[in-house]
Amino acid sequence: MSKSISAALLGLGTVGYGVRRLLEENRGINIEIKKILVRQPEKHGDIDPGLLTTDLDGIISDPGIELVIEAMGAGAFGYAAIRRSLVSGKSVITADKEIVARHLPELSTLAEARDARFYFEAAAGGAVPVIRNLLAIRKYDRVESVAGIVNGTANYILTQMFRRDIDFASALAAAREAGFAEADPEDDVSGIDSARKIAILAALAYDVFVPSEHIYRYGIANITKEDIAFIKSIGRVVKLIAFARRRGETIEIGVEPTLVHGDGVFAGVEDEDNAIFIEGKASGNLGFSGKGAGRYPTAAAVLSDCLAYREGVKSFVFREDDGISFASPERGQYYLRVADPAAIPNFLISMRRGNHIITGEIDWRILARLADNVAFCGKIMNI
């Protein structure tokens, strides 16, 4: 048997616990957790006290630890721990999409400079193996678009509203009860989390770094039973979809509720599942789906990175393409629920039913000017 790899696990919360359990159950990966960084060791009485530590410095300075698995959650401490680990020459695995979306160019080039590796498969789609497959596709094909349902919480909420005819608040409560929503779900329902993930995928697909806070997004917090009933009546289903599409030398990128065909591929992606489609110029649409939320789906993606490290797989290094720029979506057909239908110019309207309106193909800037009158909107797409 090959030599065991000594690793440190930073954090023993939802993901960290899952990673530890899966490593114990998959000993063939042959990665041994030598130290576990926690804030309060006394809360983990079921774990050998010799494994637990509050001392990050001790982990960084330990020459016997070659791999650091970061599972603490977002924040300055997590970023600093990753950066210090890489500076010391240790390779790093993280599931933290906020850190990756904000610092990918810096951390990936730092890893290369220190002859280390930086992996983040779990940061874009839970258990869905999209990152490694996207990088493989890029080796032989030109990526035209990446689009998908990348937030399990939002998808669970929308699924419950459609399936059970309940309002947003009740669906959110169901998501919390099922363990798929945080106490503060703002990042999930506003599209912030999805924006971070599509920023990561766009960097991998197009060599363009787009700060997630600059990405156009529209969330689902304002959706009502009234919206759902209308959307059902026209044979559609609404999903929160993140996308990055090539338009010449520009990448159109955003996150928005999207009305998809009721019998389309996205309509069948339900509950906490994610689904991501990569369109290649030669290969066409390639789809990847699976669990997008939960302890063990995320931990499974981390384990795939452990295996990649074990097998010597090179990690991604960001190199910006100066010829590529990014932009918000420019045109589209939209569903609107408005406060005052009479205030919508007739030339914009393709269909009207009460305060529910379907527009023709319109410029996004026109839609922006109507924002004060729009209670909820979603793009209509033939997918």
Over the stretch 69-121, which tens digit does the pLDDT of each residue have? 999 976 899 999 999 999 999 999 999 999 999 999 999 999 999 999 999 99
Whether residue 24 lies inside any domain: the answer is yes
For residue 174, what are its two tokens? 């169901």
Whether residue 60 lies inside any domain: the answer is yes
Whether residue 218 lies inside any domain: the answer is no
Q: Average the pLDDT over 308-332 and give the result.
A: 90
Those residues with Cβ within 8 angstroms of residue 138's Cβ, 6 or more apart along the chain or in another chain: 204, 205
Instruction: Name the residue range of residue 372's domain.
Output: 330-383
**Residue 284 near residue 143 (C-beta atoms within 8 A):** no
Asked if the model's pLDDT at residue 258 lies above 90, the reply is: yes
Supply the CATH number for residue 14's domain.
Answer: 3.40.50.720
Q: Average the pLDDT over 290-304 and give the result.
A: 91
Whether residue 264 lies inside any domain: the answer is no
For residue 279, what are its two tokens? 């369109």
pLDDT at 65: 98
How far is C-alpha 325 from the geometric centre of its chain's CA atoms? 21
Beta bridge partners of 143: 280
Whether residue 154 lies inside any domain: the answer is no
Whether residue 109 lies inside any domain: the answer is yes
Tell me what the pLDDT averaged over the chain comes to. Answer: 94
pLDDT tens, position by position, 168-196: 999 999 999 998 888 899 999 999 999 99
Residue 5 to residue 80: CA distance in whole angstroms: 23
pLDDT at 373: 95
Residue 204 to residue 202: CA distance in whole angstroms: 5
Last residue in a domain, options 123, 147, 169: 123
Residue 10 to residue 72: CA distance in whole angstroms: 6
Last residue in a domain, options 77, 102, 123: 123
Whether residue 268 lies inside any domain: the answer is no
Asked if the model's pLDDT at residue 316 lies above 80, the reply is: yes
Catalytic residue among 34, 90, 197, 291: 197
Confidence of residue 324 (pLDDT cuts 50, 70, 90): confident
pLDDT at 139: 95
Last residue in a domain, options 123, 149, 174: 123
How far is C-alpha 117 from the geometric centre of its chain's CA atoms? 21
Of 243, 275, 279, 240, which Cα lies nearest the Cα of 260?
Answer: 240
Number of domains in the chain: 2
For residue 30, what are its two tokens? 């042959």
Catalytic residue at 97?
no
Query: Strand locations in the chain, DSSP E?
Result: 5-10, 31-37, 52-53, 67-70, 91-94, 118-119, 143-149, 216-217, 236-247, 250-261, 273-280, 284-291, 325-327, 331-338, 349-353, 356-363, 374-380
Whether residue 114 lies inside any domain: the answer is yes
pLDDT at 74: 63
Q: Record the pTM.
A: 0.95
The owner of tokens 């996207």 is 134
Q: Average the pLDDT over 242-261 and give the result.
A: 95
